[in-house]
Amino acid sequence: MNEVLRQEKKYAINAADGAALRQRLGPVMLGDAHNGAQGYVIRSLYFDTPDDQDFQDKVDGLELRRKLRLRTYSPQSDFAMLEMKQKQGPYQRKRSLRLAREDAQRLCRGDYRPLQKMADPFAAECYGLMHCRCYRPRAVVEYRRQAYIARENHIRITLDSQIAATESRWDLFDARLPLYPVLDPFQLVLEVKYNGFLLSYIKDLLDLVGRPELSVSKYCLARSVSRSLQS
């Protein structure tokens, strides 16, 4: 089990702001090794209770809340990461556990028994929570990310675009999921993550964007689109 505790700030920005930020951040921060010319793809399967408690807690802005998800970076991958994110005041606690592809596929079907055979206490915690509260797969979200890193204070800045989702199929490894867009294609989600404090020269670069901080959740974006279509 891996664990990080950090502050996270999110902003909705337009494509022009995103292009300007890439030009500013590139010379002063390290590009993620997986960036490439167009960034890299992330796909996450989110779990929730029958009454969508985690979704509602986020919408209501509760200070203490959680998200449970499976994450992979390619449908051809031989593994996925089971992750629990917990909001604790200004901090986000993220714990993650690597699962073999076959075990992850069983979780996609709502079968959490593979977690029982693992020695990691985090696996037992996830199994107990998901089983007792009847967590079920709810939505898959996919997007393209470009990331920049500063080793001081573990600063990580990401630009996420082409955000799409589906609530009809939950196979994380299906290369042909029927995804629909959940955000305007000319908008991006900017995420700023760090421990302690944000270095002043990076803060100055980000301030040039001039966008207010928002509570943006890709999971909530996905669920909200389908709910608006049903209403």
Average pLDDT of the residues of the chain: 92
Q: What is the pLDDT of residues 1-14, one digit of tens each?
A: 999 999 999 998 99
Task: Look at 81 and 204; give whichever has higher pLDDT.
Answer: 81
pLDDT at residue 230, as a whole number: 52
The mean pLDDT value for 29-47 works out to 91
**Portion of the chain with pLDDT greater than 90, in percent:** 73
Report whether 184 contacts 18 (CB < 8 A): no
pLDDT at residue 208, as a whole number: 77
3-class DSSP state of 147: strand
Report whether 146 contacts 32 (CB < 8 A): yes
pLDDT at residue 100, as a whole number: 98
Task: Look at 142 and 230; give whichever has higher pLDDT.
Answer: 142
Q: CA torsion, points 12, 178, 108, 56, in degrees to nearest 10?
A: 40
Q: Given a cut of 90, is residue 78 above it in pLDDT? A: yes
**Portion of the chain with pLDDT greater than 70, in percent:** 97
CATH label of the domain that carries residue 146: 3.20.100.30
* Burial group, residue 111, by CB count within 10 angstroms (0-12, 13-18, 19+): exposed
Q: Given a cut of 90, is residue 102 above it in pLDDT? A: yes
Neighbours of 74 (CB within 10 A): 12
* CA neighbor of 141 nearest in space, from 104, 114, 180: 180
The pTM (predicted TM-score) of the whole model is 0.93
Provide the number of structural domains found in the chain.
Answer: 1
Report whether 153 contacts 198 (CB < 8 A): yes
Alpha helices in the chain (DSSP H): 15-25, 53-60, 101-108, 121-132, 200-207, 218-230
**Token pair listed for 212:** 């207010």
Q: What is the pLDDT of residues 181-229, one digit of tens each?
A: 999 999 999 999 999 889 999 999 888 777 777 777 899 989 987 665 5
The mean pLDDT value for 25-51 works out to 92
Range of the structural domain that residue 188 is part of: 2-230
* CA neighbor of 168 nearest in space, from 159, 178, 160, 176: 178
